[in-house]
Amino acid sequence: MGYLSCKAESAISISNSHTPSSNFPSTTHKRPIKIKHFNYCDLEAATNNFSDQKLLGKGSHGYVYKALIHGRQVAVKKPSRTPSLRPDMPASEVDNEIEILSKINSPRLVNLLGFTTDSENRLLVVEFMSNGTLYDILHSTTRSPGWGRRIRLALHTAKAIDILHSSNPPVIHRDIKSANVLIDRNHNARLGDFGLALRCHVDDYRLRSTPPAGTMGYLDPGYVTPDNLSTKTDVFSFGILLLEIISGRKAIDVGHSPPSIVDWAIPLIKKGKLSAVYDPRIELPKDLVVKKQLVVIAGKCVRSCRERRPTMKEVVGWLSGLSKLVPLHSWNGLNNPCMMVENVGVPM
């Protein structure tokens, strides 16, 4: 992607695996997370035997179905392959999600509600998101969202990643992308799909045995071996996501030259051609601070040298400041006086 890797800070690795439990303590709540155990046959019946009419989506890891359980709409995730039962083989993506989400619960995440105890037919039950994905909003709808909403969705996503990185031990998502950001009924962004996520301990053996993974176009070019992994890997992916939000372009689009959004956008930002980076389907941000700082934040996140990338906590602070500069009528019909935001500098 046109970047050279540089030596990173000490890599973070993941904790030893263990059987998921409904009594795991939350890293964001004092009370234990209540995770339900379901019978496979009950979820099979709730999805009409996994009928196409109930299908919400499918990806490389499996299928997601809509279901009504005890009067509540939920999403049921079914893996596309049977998990390995060998102890020396990695757990399935579904088992990994259970391990991660059994310990973290937040309104910024697509939270775990339960799972089936049958390891040969493992299903995952998560919160139902009624308004699709950020990818859908940016690329598959006729009406493009305004800057107030875009900044809000970016801020929600940044907060979700910060929650993961701030947990103890930290969680590295490894697959930050617009298709994994879901929109709930209140039009808030939620981060989902934790199949590739790693819950981290510094000296854990699993880090060294877990190969790099992620989605082309969002991958940190410096993440080429397991010991290259750190929270800054997610920061890079978020930077790509933010460029996607700003420009309306896909992370990789063969219809453009160069097809990589970062190879296209960063030279323009360095030349000061900021307007050229913005989505041409809608008017530019009226506030000049917003116009400049949005692309600057994205540029900082995709720096080739990961030590120079910001933390997600810093990104949350910057985006929170920018959100105050955008009139609230673009969100809910109310006006809001402009406030100043810290200048985060040009990412050179």
Binding residues for ATP: 78
Question: Which residue ranges are tagged as binding site?
Answer: 78
As given in the structure block, the two tokens for residue 311 are 């933390």
- Interior/surface letters 27-49, b for 16+ CB within 10 angstroms, e for the rest: beeeeebebeebeeeebbebbee
CA neighbor of 86 nearest in space, from 99, 95, 77: 95
C-alpha span between 294 and 25 (Å, rounded): 36
Q: How far is CA 221 from the centre of its chain?
A: 18
Residue 28, SS3 per DSSP: coil
Task: Using CA atoms of 44, 48, 54, 58 in order, give the dihedral in degrees to the nearest 10.
Answer: 40
Which of 95, 175, 234, 279 is the catalytic position?
175
Active site residue 175: yes
CA neighbor of 132 nearest in space, from 64, 72, 195, 62: 64
C-alpha span between 108 and 177 (Å, rounded): 15
Q: Name residue, tokens 């992308």.
A: 177
What DSSP line would sit under 29-77, residue for residue? -SSBP--EEE-HHHHHHHTTTT-GGGEEEEETTEEEEEEEETTEEEEEE
CA neighbor of 161 nearest in space, from 149, 150, 170: 170
Residues with catalytic annotation?
A: 175
